[in-house]
């Protein structure tokens, strides 16, 4: 009986902790990583600082939602394979259910004047929050001249419509080539220029493809399998696939989906849940969610035993640094494109400026900013 209790206790600990975090972890991936550290290293002592950093490094070497992958890693470390699933599902499920409820309200009431006003007020705040994440990540991601040039080149080419996958992996290859010493000085800038000619033409604008569950699942599966960098880079992929290539949602719906992802706890990737719901109801919401998160479970399962080798490889580090630099450039380009559609009124500009002041100067929580903008939007809708 004693052995059974010992075996069950760590699993229950993992399930309880990550289910609670799934309901309360606001603030995005960086905040999630900090919360995990506080709960697991400082409060519970499940891992040492060194062990935690090793797992964090491993999540940066694989694509997908970093904080979710970190949760899965931590669950496996504490309770084995049962903990692997308990942590991941516990962290994802609450956010998925909350987003589905908000998506229902959006579909049911989204076209009402007050609801429209509320969402229009939230959109500028989302842009400011993304801008802050971009600045913070940029300080760490652009480590030298090479990564800086890769970021700038990616930003420029993304605005010209070059495919985001070509930019991310092209940037990684360029950084790796430079690391290996090929065309060291003369190759740095010229090697970046062919990124726009990797055989992938700019995506067609506003294409219309009939909706299907299989396409929805495979598209989100692809995004979950290849997305590097911050969760905010997700916006670039969603825009490229669902707005431009498939033509299933509008720019405004994309911003609304990101806004909902901001005001809910847990992974930002549950933006996929929202998009799935507005396209095909509850079933499509679950299909989209499974599609985007499934690769995270697979990559963690594969990479877990390889962590020591991955962390020690200079080639892997060079490739990853360059991919992250490219992802920052891509993220900046998408921020510019979305901002053009978000700041469409004096009220939106005012909300954006006030949000920027509160966020950058006074460090006000993004949750409070989104909530405050929502109140302003409701009031504006009622008096208009």
DSSP string over 196-238: GGSS-PPPPTT------HHHHHHHHHHHHHH--S-GGGHHHHH
* pLDDT score for 220: 96
* pLDDT score for 230: 59
* pLDDT score for 307: 65
**More confidently predicted of 104 and 3:** 104
Percent of the chain with pLDDT over 90: 32
Determine the average pLDDT of the residues in 153-178: 86
* pLDDT score for 85: 96
Within 10 A of 3 (CB to CB), how many other CB atoms are there?
A: 7
CB 295 within 8 A of CB 221: yes
In tens, the pLDDT along 227-277 reads 876 566 788 889 989 998 999 999 888 988 888 877 788 888 999 999 999
In angstroms, the CA 95 to CA 15 distance is 15
Q: How confident is the model at residue 121 (pLDDT cuts 50, 70, 90)?
A: confident
pLDDT at residue 354 tops 90:
yes
| Mean predicted lDDT score pLDDT of the chain | 81
In tens, the pLDDT along 200-213 reads 333 344 446 789 99
- State the alpha helices, DSSP H only, in 241-313: 251-263, 271-303, 307-312
CB 28 within 8 A of CB 263: no
* pLDDT score for 1: 43
Q: Is 197 exposed, middle or buried (0-12, 13-18, 19+ CB in 10 A)?
A: exposed
pTM to 2 decimal places:
0.70
In tens, the pLDDT along 152-164 reads 999 999 888 887 7
* pLDDT score for 323: 80
Q: How confident is the model at residue 189 (pLDDT cuts 50, 70, 90)?
A: very low
Question: Distance between terminal CA atoms of the chain?
Answer: 67
In angstroms, the CA 280 to CA 298 distance is 26
Q: If we measure between CA atoms, which residue out of 314, 242, 304 comes closest to residue 279?
A: 242
pLDDT at residue 150 tops 70:
yes
Determine the average pLDDT of the residues in 304-330: 76
pLDDT at residue 28 tops 80:
no
Domain ranges across the chain: 2-383
**More confidently predicted of 3 and 349:** 349
Q: How confident is the model at residue 216 (pLDDT cuts 50, 70, 90)?
A: very high
The dihedral built from the CA positions of residue 114, 115, 120 and 123, taken in this order, carries a sign that is: positive
Percent of the chain with pLDDT over 70: 84
């Amino acid at each position: 009986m004693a052995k059974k209790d010992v075996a069950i206790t760590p699993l229950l600990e993992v399930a309880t902790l990550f289910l609670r975090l799934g309901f309360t972890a606001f603030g995005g991936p960086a905040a999630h990583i900090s919360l995990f550290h506080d709960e697991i290293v400082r409060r519970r002592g499940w891992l040492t600082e060194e062990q935690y950093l090793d797992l964090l490094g491993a999540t940066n070497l694989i694509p997908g939602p970093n904080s979710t992958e970190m949760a899965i890693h931590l669950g496996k470390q504490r309770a084995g394979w049962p903990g692997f699933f308990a942590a991941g599902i516990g962290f994802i499920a609450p956010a998925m259910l909350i987003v589905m409820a908000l998506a229902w309200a959006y579909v049911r009431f989204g076209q009402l004047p007050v609801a429209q006003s509320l969402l229009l007020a939230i959109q500028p705040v989302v842009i400011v929050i993304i801008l802050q994440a971009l600045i913070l990540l940029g300080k760490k991601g652009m480590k030298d001249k090479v990564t800086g040039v890769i970021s700038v080149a990616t930003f420029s080419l993304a605005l010209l419509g070059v495919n985001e996958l070509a930019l991310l992996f092209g940037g990684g290859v360029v950084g790796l080539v430079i690391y290996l010493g090929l065309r060291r000085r003369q190759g740095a800038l010229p090697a970046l220029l062919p990124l726009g000619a990797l055989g992938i033409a700019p995506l067609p604008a506003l294409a219309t493809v009939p909706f299907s569950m299989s396409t929805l699942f495979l598209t989100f599966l692809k995004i979950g399998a290849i997305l590097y960098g911050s969760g905010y880079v997700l916006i670039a992929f969603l825009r490229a696939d669902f707005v431009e290539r498939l033509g299933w949602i509008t720019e405004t719906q994309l911003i609304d989906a990101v806004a909902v992802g901001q005001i809910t706890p847990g992974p930002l990737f549950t933006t996929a849940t929202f998009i799935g719901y507005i396209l095909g109801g509850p079933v499509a919401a679950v299909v989209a969610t499974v599609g985007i998160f499934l690769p995270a479970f697979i990559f963690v399962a594969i990479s877990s035993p390889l962590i020591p080798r991955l962390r020690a490889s200079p080639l892997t580090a060079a490739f990853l640094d360059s991919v992250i630099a490219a992802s920052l450039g891509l993220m900046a380009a998408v921020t510019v494109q979305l901002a053009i559609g978000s700041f469409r009124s004096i009220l939106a500009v005012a909300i954006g400026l006030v949000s920027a002041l509160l966020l950058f100067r006074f460090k006000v929580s993004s949750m409070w900013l989104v909530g405050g903008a929502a109140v302003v939007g409701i009031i504006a809708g009622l008096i208009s």
